Structure 1
Amino acid sequence: MSLYGTMRTGVSGMNAQANRLGTVAENIANSSTVGYKKASVQFSSMILPATGGAYNSGGVETDIRYSISDQGTFSYTTSATDLAINGNGFFIVSGGDGVEYLTRAGSFEMMDDGTLRNAAGYTLMGYEYSSTSDPTIVVNGFEGLTPVNLSSASISATASTEGQLNVNLPSGEAAGYSKSTSLVAYDSQGNSRLLEFTYIKTAANTWTVEANYAGPPVTTVIPTTTLNFDANGKLTSPTSLTTTAFAVDGANMGAIAIDISGSTQLAAAFSVETGAKINGNAASEVVGYEIDEKGVVSVVYDNGDLTPRYRVALATVQSPDNLTPIAGNLYSQSNDSGVIVMGYAGSAGFGTILSGALEDSNVDVAEELTAMIESQRNYTANSKVFQTGSELMDVLVNLKR
């Protein structure tokens, strides 16, 4: 074995342990970083061919690996915009350069412009919510994504358009018996309007109903309508009533379709069945936000209503551990990671979103300290090999003197 080879092998070992100490230092430094995935060093031997019975010492090579697919534990917070992914997937975020990246760091906070940004300053991306269907996803690209922005959330009012009112009319009452009930409806400006229904028995199995908005001014919106019941006390016609639209105080009171198909005429007191309602809501202010396990971002109003605005998109790749790490706890696609696949939380291949939670670093500090001690001892041992080779080289050189 050549003395030069001995020294070269010692240097190789010191470089390898220095790499390992570098990953240990980074892991310990980021042990409290949200969503951080630990780095590790894998060693492999370099073997040189022996020549003429002489052994040529090789060395050691290192390969850096990242445990990106290893999920950390969760810490729970009081902020609804703190997000964690339970299972597979990454959030898509965008930086000031307009380029999209992947991350597991979900410490998002609403900025003054309404966007949600994490601690590294990257903006959460998603799709505008549709109540009729999920947005169309470009499976292998980021097209169609838009920043999740809640700045447009403000005072909201929704006009009434439909409702339900099922009652029981007492069959034993005489003709001329009258009874009233009412429901609240809302105009286009969110003003509440009391809609009063009056039922009058006119004959066996026959009643009339009329509906008026309490004034001022009192406005008849359903003129006298005849209700017909069969011998079993079930309503035969009509099964629905529609109010007449009109303008009032600068607002529009739209037509409202009211389902009455479940009304009955039985030998019991007058009663309004559970579920009587008219949709719409009065003017309400935003009091907060909610993000459910499927990533639907909703605005919460002071009347308790939820209005969905966005749906958070997730992405994954075939080999997450081979993604390219980028400063800011970000990842980008590499040649070895496979292509990026887009989807939604809760769908096949993707985990669910936890609101009010953050994913902890997957670093085990005790394990890293143990690795640090091992690397320190191994580095010292390799330095001794180098030192011994150097001393023997001096002896060899001095033989000529």
Structure 2
Amino acid sequence: MLTSLYSAISGLQAHTNKLDVIGNNIANVNTTGFKSSRVNFTTVLNQTIKGATSPQEGRGGTNPQQVGLGVKIGSINQNMTQGSPQSTGVSTDLSLQGDGFFVLDNGGSKVYTRSGATAFDEEGYLVNSANGLYIQGWMARSDLDGDGKRDVNINGDLEPISLTSSMPASATENINYTGNLDASSEINKTHTTSISVYDSLGTKHTVNLELEKTADNTWDYTIASSDNGTDIVDAGTSTGTLVFDSDGNLESINGTNLDGNGNGSITDAELEAALPKLIINPTGGAAANQEITLNFSEFTQYGDVSMSAKADTVDGYAAGELEGIEIDSAGVITGSYNNGRLDTIGQIAVATFNNPAGLSQEADTMYAESNNSGQPVIGIAGVGSAGVISPGTLEMSNVDLSSELTEMITTQRGFQANSKVITTADQILEQLVNLKR
């Protein structure tokens, strides 16, 4: 009789714990990035009254006679399925469409979250909106691939991501010219094109290129600046001659042969040596003697194509201040500056685990590595199972409210039934006590 009391008590305790889990799930039905949990029951050891017997001659075997001793919590499992993305329109709100986690720095230790509600603080650091912990990733450093933007080394150590509020000026080093010089032009025909260049302080200067046809397939060029006080230091670099072959390809620059076509058969080193170097001295306190390489190798001379020679691309730019940021699906943060330039600021790191359900839950919808989660694999969004980042959205809680309410009803009935066992056992014990009266 006492066994039934203790079994019922274990049932009350187990169902109370399950109700606690259900209540927590329902409480977090609207919590960003929350993952619901589920309780599984298991039996307590049984009391064996009589063991099983094997079949004997003329008589069959019997099953064991056992009385259960109650119930206990077998496991509380986290449901790590994807929550639905909710659009917010806030550029720093992020959701992961995959198995990854954002990485946060918590006083030197790393914690992880699915909640991508982030913002930039007063000092320009990207932080978790709930607790101010720094979002981890990598800052962009130098331009490694020559595209004019800084690059991120994702193999480096994790670090907080902060905004680069200003962009320093960059002096012009190269002007690339392209287009066609009309082969049918008369002798002494001229064509002029202009381009803006920048000194080391970001001050803009205008460089003019004048092309004059001096003979068949031959054009002389003259470089000058229309800015007062901006001088061509080495006059020998400001003039020269371009010679084309009969097919309209650039053959030589200032007497240096380009193998007759100028389309790449010359080596990069030979082409670099052939290109003229313009040396100017800008005003305004900038560093003296600024060297600019003039690339004419893409010029052509066709008779059936109109005159289109011009400066196509130029590097260098003025200083700029940050106007806005954009985060792409790989977590790359790009800043837009008021000098018209775009530059990479950094990239957000994403962690994956072999067993994400084994992570230890922390406050503020965060998780910590546990003995059964596996070690974090740090990478970037869009690679492997990490999933892509969806900016302007937040991952909603994956709590299924209808299922939780159903579970709450069955848990309540289970609790009531166990309570009934206790009251029934108590009544029987009372009758036993009264037998001696």
Q: Contact conserved, 2:11 with 2:418, CA < 8 A, in 1? A: yes
Aligned to 1:166, the other structure's residue is in SS state strand
1:335 maps to 371
1:113 maps to 123
1:98 maps to 108
Matched, 1:372 2:408: yes
Cα distance in 2 for partners of 1:266, 1:198 equals: 19
Q: Deviations over 1:175-201 (max 9, x none)?
A: 211110111111222222111100011
Which of 153, 161, 185 aligns to 1:148? It is 161
Question: How do residues 250-289 of structure 1 correspond to structure 2 at under 5 angstroms?
Answer: 250-252=285-287, 254-267=290-303, 268-272=305-309, 276-289=312-325
Q: How far off is 1:231 after superposition?
A: 0.5
Q: Deviations over 1:58-102 (max 9, x none)?
A: 21221211113x11110122222111111121111023x332101
2:327 maps to 291
Q: How far off is 1:319 after superposition?
A: 0.4
1:223 maps to 238
Which of 22, 41, 47 aligns to 1:49? It is 47
Aligned to 2:180, the other structure's residue is in SS state strand
Q: Contact conserved, 1:6 with 1:57, CA < 8 A, in 2? A: no
Aligned to 2:137, the other structure's residue is in SS state strand
Matched, 1:161 2:173: yes
Cα distance in 2 for partners of 1:351, 1:258 equals: 45
CA RMSD of aligned residues (A): 2.0
Cα distance in 2 for partners of 1:161, 1:227 equals: 21
User: Which amino acid letter does the alignment assign opposite residue 225 of structure 1?
Assistant: G
> Closer, same or farther in 2 for the Cα pair 1:340/1:218, shift >3 Å?
closer
Cα distance in 1 for partners of 2:293, 2:349 equals: 37
Q: Deviations over 1:363-388 (max 9, x none)?
A: 11122111111111111111111111
Q: How far off is 1:136 after superposition?
A: 5.2
- Mark the runs of 5 or more structure 2 residues left unpaired by the alignment: 51-63, 145-150, 254-270
Q: How far off is 1:161 after superposition?
A: 2.1
> Closer, same or farther in 2 for the Cα pair 1:163/1:347, shift >3 Å?
farther
Q: Contact conserved, 2:280 with 2:291, CA < 8 A, in 1? A: yes
Which of 78, 93, 97 aligns to 2:89? It is 78
1:25 maps to 23
Q: Deviations over 1:127-154 (max 9, x none)?
A: 122442652537xxxxx2211111x422
Cα distance in 2 for partners of 1:51, 1:280 equals: 90
Cα distance in 1 for partners of 2:384, 2:252 equals: 47
> Closer, same or farther in 2 for the Cα pair 1:387/1:374, shift >3 Å?
same
- Of the structure 1 ranges 360-369 and 163-172, higher mean CA displacement relative to structure 2 is found in 163-172
User: Which amino acid letter does the alignment assign opposite residue 114 of structure 2?
Assistant: R
2:267 maps to none
Matched, 1:181 2:196: no
- TM-score, length of structure 2 as denominator length: 0.84
Q: How far off is 1:349 after superposition?
A: 3.4
Q: How far off is 1:283 after superposition?
A: 2.9
Matched, 1:137 2:155: yes
Tell which structure's C-alpha radius of gyration is larger. Answer: 2
Q: Contact conserved, 1:212 with 1:218, CA < 8 A, in 2? A: no
User: Which amino acid letter does the alignment assign opposite residue 370 of structure 1?
Assistant: T
User: Which amino acid letter does the alignment assign opposite residue 195 of structure 1?
Assistant: V
Cα distance in 1 for partners of 2:395, 2:99 equals: 13
Question: How do residues 312-323 of structure 1 correspond to structure 2 at under 5 angstroms?
Answer: 312-323=348-359
Q: Contact conserved, 1:242 with 1:257, CA < 8 A, in 2? A: yes
Cα distance in 2 for partners of 1:179, 1:55 equals: 105
> Closer, same or farther in 2 for the Cα pair 1:366/1:272, shift >3 Å?
farther
Cα distance in 2 for partners of 1:323, 1:384 equals: 38
Q: Contact conserved, 2:172 with 2:314, CA < 8 A, in 1? A: yes
Which of 134, 139, 153 aligns to 1:128? It is 139
Q: How far off is 1:169 after superposition?
A: 1.3
Matched, 1:359 2:369: no
Q: How far off is 1:54 after superposition?
A: 6.5
> Closer, same or farther in 2 for the Cα pair 1:61/1:192, shift >3 Å?
same
Cα distance in 2 for partners of 1:176, 1:54 equals: 116
User: Which amino acid letter does the alignment assign opposite residue 297 of structure 2?
Assistant: S
> Closer, same or farther in 2 for the Cα pair 1:241/1:366, shift >3 Å?
farther
Cα distance in 1 for partners of 2:352, 2:433 equals: 60
Aligned to 1:94, the other structure's residue is in SS state strand
> Closer, same or farther in 2 for the Cα pair 1:261/1:383, shift >3 Å?
same
Cα distance in 2 for partners of 1:317, 1:137 equals: 18
Q: Deviations over 1:266-302 (max 9, x none)?
A: 21331136x8121222232211111111111222213
> Closer, same or farther in 2 for the Cα pair 1:348/1:245, shift >3 Å?
farther
> Closer, same or farther in 2 for the Cα pair 1:246/1:217, shift >3 Å?
closer
> Closer, same or farther in 2 for the Cα pair 1:258/1:294, shift >3 Å?
farther
- For this pair of structures, how many residues does the alignment match? 390
